[in-house]
Amino acid sequence: MASLMQTLVALSLLSMFVSDVHGQLSSTFYAGTCPNLQQIVRSTMAQAVNKEPRMAASILRLFFHDCFVNGCDASILLDDTAAFTGEKNASPNRNSARGYEVIDAIKSNVEAACRATVSCADVLALAARDGVALLGGPTWAVQLGRRDARTASQSDANSNLPGPSSGLSTLISSFAAKGLNARDMTALSGAHTIGQAQCGNFRSHIYNDANVNSSFAALRKRNCPSSGGDGNLAPLDLETPNRFDNGYYRDLVAKKGLLHSDQELFNGGSQDSLVRQYSVNNAAFSRDFAAAMVKMGAISPLTGNRGEIRLNCKKVN
């Protein structure tokens, strides 16, 4: 009987622990302390996206690159200091990660309304959601309550982010390491339905890979020579680069994925059937993307007394 009671107590404690973990973030976290937060973020993002639609993709990428490196803690926003080398100049981010000034503008507006209350990590999570919605994509209830990191790691950024030359097995394992399954990975890859990529990141695919439509490759080669022009841009979604829809998956089915890692999702492997489904069912893609974004946003957040609420997203307090 004693053994049974110990087991029941242990299970009860475990249940409380699991509940506590999932209860740390809440969509109503700032309801009392910063009630206008979501309107402030939305209006500032709307100004940025109206000025440059690509900014929605850039902010979404910032959020992804933040969450995959030691969790969603706004570490990607920190400038280098004498104490640490930050993530801004890690290989996946150097000369490509952008939109920092938009997050700074949102944070400034939030600080004016709610001093020292809302984390940069939560600002980034909300901005990523709003950018997607502003370009016609799904919306979702962003879970809030993250706090900001006091440090960053260039080495972790270099090792934790899958690159444009990644194969399917690498993509699946990279996402699995963050608690995201293959379906989440394929849905989140649909973020590439907006935004652009640099020639240096897709040159090898259009010149060397066999699984690419020849006319599409010829089109992309016009602006991406075999050498030079590494920074030249091309849309990740050939059809509707400024609308968040399922055009990305239609491109993959037609072998018109821009990056090697994109086309890997539809190349005779385990994700082919899901890509086909998304290519004809935008509602299914939108639903799965929104759910996967919530999961990604819950990767190792700093909560409670850990971390801090940065006043300036570029530096610790």
Q: What is the pLDDT along the chain (317 residues), one digit of tens a residue?
A: 444 444 444 444 444 443 344 448 999 999 999 999 999 999 999 999 999 999 999 999 999 999 999 999 999 999 999 988 999 999 999 999 999 999 999 999 999 999 999 999 999 999 999 999 999 999 999 999 999 999 999 999 999 999 999 999 999 999 999 999 999 999 999 999 999 999 999 999 999 999 999 999 999 999 999 999 999 999 999 999 999 999 999 999 999 999 999 999 999 999 999 999 999 999 999 999 999 999 999 999 999 999 999 999 999 99
Distances (CA, A) of 34 to 38, 119, 287, 301: 9, 11, 28, 20
Fold for 36-161, please state it.
Peroxidase; domain 1 (1.10.520)
Measured at the alpha carbon of residue 181, what is the angle toward residues 71 and 120, in degrees to the nearest 5?
A: 20
Determine the pLDDT at residue 24.
87
Domain ranges of the chain: 36-161, 168-296
- Determine if residue 22 is labeled as part of a ligand binding site: no
Q: Which residues are identified as catalytic?
A: 65
The CATH number given to 168-296 is 1.10.420.10
- Determine if residue 73 is labeled as part of a ligand binding site: yes
CA atoms of 163 and 211, how far apart (whole Å)? 18
- Determine if residue 245 is labeled as part of a ligand binding site: yes
CA nearest 121: which of 174, 58, 176, 78? 78
CA atoms of 248 and 92, how far apart (whole Å)? 22
- Determine if residue 229 is labeled as part of a ligand binding site: no
- Determine if residue 66 is labeled as part of a ligand binding site: yes
- Determine if residue 184 is labeled as part of a ligand binding site: no
Determine the pLDDT at residue 70.
95
- Determine if residue 79 is labeled as part of a ligand binding site: no
- Determine if residue 75 is labeled as part of a ligand binding site: yes
Helical segments of 209-246, H only: 214-221
CA atoms of 92 and 84, how far apart (whole Å)? 18
CA atoms of 262 and 251, how far apart (whole Å)? 10
Largest CA distance in the chain: 77
